[in-house]
Structure formats: C-alpha cells, structure tokens
Homo-oligomer: A and B are copies of this chain.
Amino acid sequence: MGEFELLARIRERLPAAGPRVRVGSGDDCAVTVPGGATATSVDAVVDGVHFRRDLASLGQIGHKALATALSDLAAMGAEAGEAYVVLGIPPDIDEDGCIELLDGMVALAGATAASLAGGDVTRAAELFLAITVVGHAPGPDSFVSRSGARPGDALVVTGELGAAAAGLLLLERPDLTEELDDAAAERLRASQLEPSPRLGAGRILAERGATAMIDLSDGLGGDARHLAEAGGVGLRIDAAALPLADGVAAVAAAAGHDRYELTIGGGEDYELLAALPAEELRGAVEALAEAEAVRLTQVGEVVGGKGVEIRLPDGRLLESAGFDQLA
C-alpha cells in the first residue's frame, strides 16, 4: 500500500467540503475562510489506552474518535467546521481497514455537517488517531468557556447519564446482559462505542446564555470539578435528580456497583454539563426538546465557595476529592 495511493482512495470517499473550505485535502494545506471566531481542539486516542480493538470495530473506533473531538466543540457552543485526521496504522490493518476507519468518520461528519478537510497517514506499531476539529461562531464572545459559572445559576445536563459506563461493563462482561432486555443492552453498548456529540444542544445552550459549559468525558464528578475550579465557584448536585439511562441501574446492580457512583465516576457519556441563568431554564428545556429531541435536566446549582458536593439519595455526601476513587 503506497501512501499516495491510499490518500487518493481516501479523498474519493470524502463528502463535499463545507462552504468555508476553499482548498481541501491534497495541497500543502487546507484553505478556509473562517469569518468570526474559531474554536480548535485536538484529541488523540491510542489502542489499548482509549479503545480495545477486540471490543470495537474499526468503523466504531473512527466514529468515536471524531465524536469525542466534536464533543469539545459542542461544549463551546460552536458550529462544527473542519476536522483534520491523523491515522497511525499498524502492520495488521490493511488499506481496507483504513477505509473502514474513515467510513466511521465520514458518516458522523455527514451527520454533523463537519468537513474532513485534511489529514496524514503514517505507519505505526499500534493504531492511533489524532483529530483536530475547528468550530465556528460569529465572534469570540459567542463561545461558552468553562469559567463563567455564577452563584445562582442552574446546573443542567443534556440527555441521559451512565450509559457509556454501563455499556463498557457490558462489553467487558457479556454475562451481565442477563439482567437486561436485548434492546436496552444494545443501546448501552452503542452509547459506549458510538457516542453522539451534542452540537445542536450546545449551540442552543450558548444562545440561551449558558455561563459555563463542559462535555462529560472524564465523568460527571471530575468534569464538574473542572467547571468549579475554572469558575472559582462551588457546585451542589443532587444525585437523585440525575437522568440515569435505562438499564444503568440493572447493570450497576449486576456488577456490584452503586448506580450513582457508576454514573458519577464513569466517563464518556459526552453529554453537556452547563451553568445556566435560572430564568433561562424553562426556555432551554423547551428549545432542546423541540429542536433536538434532547432532554435537559437540572441536577443542581452553582453556589459560592468552591469544590463540588454531590448528595446521594441515601444521604451520603460525595466531595470533589473522592471522585477519582469512584468506579
């Protein structure tokens, strides 16, 4: 397989680039005309560290790598723009395997209106993907950072939580599916393998005045701590309010975990956690339901002080320092 031949084959599969892309893959650089401001994020995933090739197909690995990168754009309230993809390809993945990886990305790029505008392919001992994504907004103040949360803001999450952590347990221990119907198990596994970045929801929350936002990649506990530290505020979360996905409780019970601890400590839900002025809450809930069919749930509030406190239904209090120990 020659590098140039593979790149040509990859280029054939790319959908038409978006309106900001003037020169796509094939020159020294891609050329874009951004207009306004850009948000840029890079994310790398490595075999054995971020994914297991025995649990995920190459298409799913490609999908998830791009999804997690786009999720950082969602957390800024950005419109998805361009993605640049580096593939490190080990000897046991052939040209068809590269195309399968790419197809997972092409499908998601199509669904999110992102353009795959450039990339690089290299030999490597182990599979890795490094993805740079560029998002757009009319101006820099249109983006939502992690740092603007104010005491009194409502703390909200999109979608449902715990599915990715429960899905990972199901993938690693197929015996746990005995507690679940097939459709619920399949949804949980799909949450782990093929997450959906919440781009539309992120833009709506930005338009509704979200003061701070982050995507749930490390887990609600750790990501809430990032939001609290960046804003110099405290966060109080009521675990009973967390919108647990169907099946999470059953998987947690079968695996011997507390359902809330699994959800709070388990990462990769790629939902958004945002601080929102309390008076915007109702409007945001309705807007997300209408435009995105996505649930928005208040799970707590921003307070003075610092750190994160999560009250469990049994009365126990989890504090920031303990989140890393959760399973």
Contacts and interface: CB of A to CB of B under 8 A. Distances in A.
A281 to B, nearest CB: 22
B29 A40 contact: yes
A30 B37 contact: no
A147 interface: yes
A31 B39 contact: yes
Nearest to A75: B28
Interface string A13-28: 0000000001100111
Given A130-B130, A145-B27, A122 B45 contact: yes
Contacts of A22: 37, 140
A36 B34 CA distance: 7
Contacts of A118: 40-42
A132 interface: yes
Nearest to A36: B33
B76 A28 contact: yes
Nearest to A129: B130
A169 B123 CA distance: 23
A32 B28 contact: no
Interface stretch (A55-63, A82-90, A301-309): A82-90
Contact of A146 (B28, B78, B135, B147): B28
Contact of A44 (B36, B41, B50, B122): B122
A325 to B, nearest CB: 14
Contacts of A76: 27-29, 31
A72 interface: yes
A83 to B, nearest CB: 10
Contacts of A120: 42-44, 130
A99 B139 CA distance: 34
Given A132-B132, A145-B23, A49 B124 contact: yes
A321 interface: no
Contacts of A132: 40, 42, 84, 132
A46 interface: yes
A297 interface: no
B122 A31 contact: no
B126 A126 contact: yes
A23 B125 CA distance: 35
A30 B41 contact: yes
A84 B42 contact: yes
A40 B34 CA distance: 12
A20 to B, nearest CB: 9
Given A41-B118, A42-B84, A124-B126, 13 more contacts: A28-B72, A28-B215, A29-B73, A29-B78, A29-B143, A32-B140, A40-B82, A40-B117, A42-B86, A42-B120, A120-B130, A125-B126, A132-B132
Interface of A: 22-23, 26-34, 36-46, 48-50, 72-73, 75-76, 78, 82, 84-86, 88, 117-120, 122-126, 128, 130, 132, 134-135, 139-140, 143, 145-147, 213-215, 230
